[in-house]
């Protein structure tokens, strides 16, 4: 079974620039999550999709972050404009059901300078 694919693996941008991350979940997994992991902390949920609908985006900084999951498969997460404190690893995960175990992708390591 192919895992959760994420790209790019690394990204360095200047503050106030824009950046986008892409995630392809495991085939058939209805639920997709984006987590932000700042160095030394646990992953923090940004947004949860069930198929192409948003289930929970209460922790997403909506003034600068946006995410979509068109057609209920791939997802993109965008930051515009980026701030220094957005430097983190952005992890995508998917699960078959909302209560199932998660499989994480390798993450995108973002550095904002």
Range list of β-strands (E), the chain: 5-7, 10-13, 19-24, 31-37, 44-50, 53-56, 65-68, 75-79, 88-95, 103-104, 108-112
Chain contacts with other proteins (rule: CB under 8 A):
33, 35, 40-45, 48, 55-56, 58, 91, 98-99, 101-102, 104-107
Residue 82 or 91 having the CB closest to other proteins: 91
CB of 36 to other proteins, least distance (A): 11
Residue 17 or 37 having the CB closest to other proteins: 37
């Amino acid at each position: 079974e192919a895992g959760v694919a994420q790209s790019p693996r690394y990204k360095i941008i200047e503050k106030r620039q824009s950046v986008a991350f892409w995630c392809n979940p495991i085939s058939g997994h209805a639920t997709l999550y984006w987590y932000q992991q700042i160095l030394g902390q646990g992953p923090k949920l940004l947004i949860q999709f069930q198929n192409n609908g948003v289930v929970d985006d209460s922790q997403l900084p909506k003034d600068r972050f946006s995410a979509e999951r068109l057609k209920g498969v791939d997802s993109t997460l965008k930051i515009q404009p980026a701030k220094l404190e957005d430097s983190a690893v952005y992890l995508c995960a998917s699960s078959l059901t909302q209560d199932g175990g998660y499989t994480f992708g390798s993450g995108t390591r973002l550095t904002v300078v």
